[in-house]
Structure 1
């Protein structure tokens, strides 16, 4: 008998009587998703109307979610670069233009959303959705080089 043969695998043992090993909740239950997974879903839902409206212009843009920003903004800066959306010295999102990486390979443009600063500034899903819509509208407008009010007339 070959141990690597999939037909002869032994079932996982219940060592020390602690119960079955595996997922506790079914995949379809909302509680199954982790906080980061539900945040990623909220980002996709906020980005979908923008992507549908400007599909041809955004086809070469990647959307990314990072846990924390890996950049520091000085507190004495009065005017931030247009490619960064921030709350004071804390970046909430940024646009990375297409370019060339250190190995000489071309890179695609990328819109990066920072999860932890956004989650700390919102207390419920409605506020998070509104903040994500505002951030993504500002970043897409910057990438397309248009006024954010042209994308969303309610933009302030």
Structure 2
């Protein structure tokens, strides 16, 4: 039995040449799901920043895979979270952080349009909560979910 060293390219097995990418790197199809998700978040942050730029100047937006929950956690999985810096930090330089959790949001979306809508609604709700406003005042196109 031969061992393969990771990263070492061997000759191809059937004489067809080494495989390469199926699409050029700049093509949308070659982007990973995580990269496409990040692009949707960036687009929404830019859209909100156009209207609330001054208020969101000290806010950092981030994407994480999953929320950190305890194994005994027995509630709904959070889709996002606003993290404020510790009050006793003294430096005052750390920004408020709004985190979007990719995997729980992707699990709830049926298609790309619904994914974009979920990201938009989540970010609008988090920004509204941060600013102490209603989601409709942050984004007039926000549609109140039916409960």
Give TM class, smaller chain: 0.7 to 0.9
Single out whichever of 38-47 and 115-124 deviates more from structure 2. Answer: 38-47
Deviation, 1:31, is 1.4
Unaligned runs of 5+ in 1: 1-12, 76-87
Structure-2 separation of matches of 1:24 and 1:45 = 27
| Root mean square deviation of aligned Cα | 2.7
Which of the two has greater strand per residue?
1
Q: Which residue of structure 2 aligns with residue 145 of structure 1?
A: 132
Distance 1:108 1:21, change over 3 A: farther
**Structure 2: distance between partners of 1:53 and 1:68:** 29
Deviation at 1:105, TM superposition (A): 8.8
Q: How many residues align?
A: 131
Cα distance in 2 for residues equivalent to 1:59 and 1:155: 25
Aligned partners of 1:43 and 1:14: how far apart in 2?
Answer: 37
The answer for the alignment partner of 1:15 in structure 2 is: 10
Determine the structure 2 residue equivalent to 1:50.
48
Q: For structure 2, which runs of at least 5 residues remain unmatched after alignment?
A: 1-7
